[in-house]
Homo-oligomer: A and B are copies of this chain.
Amino acid sequence: MSTKALRKEEEENLLRRADDLCRQNNLRLTPIRERVYRELVQSGGPVGAYDLVDRLSSEKKRLAPVTIYRALDFLRDAGLVHRLATQNSYVISHGQPDVNAMKIMFVDSKTGETIEVHSSEVAEAVRKAAEQAGFRSVSPFMEVEGEIAR
């Protein structure tokens, strides 16, 4: 089986899961939102908001930035997409809802490539550090810059 076919399969998997998630939570995965999500899935990495504007615009119809940002906000609230603050870009979240794990986005400082890792050890250590510092309800997402070992 070709890589492309695998990708295609994985893509449909993610789409179906996103669809299910929204259905279960009474969220509406409208056409625009789905197109944005699909584009992020297909890209296989982080994409900037204005890149999405370009990619989802056709000759006749150019989408407004605000349209993309609204879709991204929706997807982020749904937990389907994560914003990479260090890169001003957005990536799909591969999260199986492992509630206790910290979702770490390792970001290659040079290329911008990301690898998502879930770690309950990190979650626990961060939780402890937060508690000592007087912090609560810590976000299950964080990003760490580094570089991919080749």
Give the docked Cα–Cα distance between A146 and B123 (Å): 13
Distance in angstroms from A132 CB to nearest chain B CB is 7
Contact-residue bracket for chain A: 20 to 34
By beta carbon, the residue of chain B nearest A87 is B85
**Residue with the greatest number of chain B CB neighbours at <10 A, chosen from A124, A130, A137, A141:** A130
Contact with B along A137-150 (1 / 0, CB 8 A): 11101111111110
Q: Taking the full assembly, how many copies of this chain does it contain?
A: 2
Contact with B along A30-72 (1 / 0, CB 8 A): 0000000000000000000000000000000000000000000
Chain A residues with CB under 8 Å of chain B are 85-86, 104, 106, 109, 115, 117, 119, 121-122, 124-126, 128-130, 132-139, 141-149
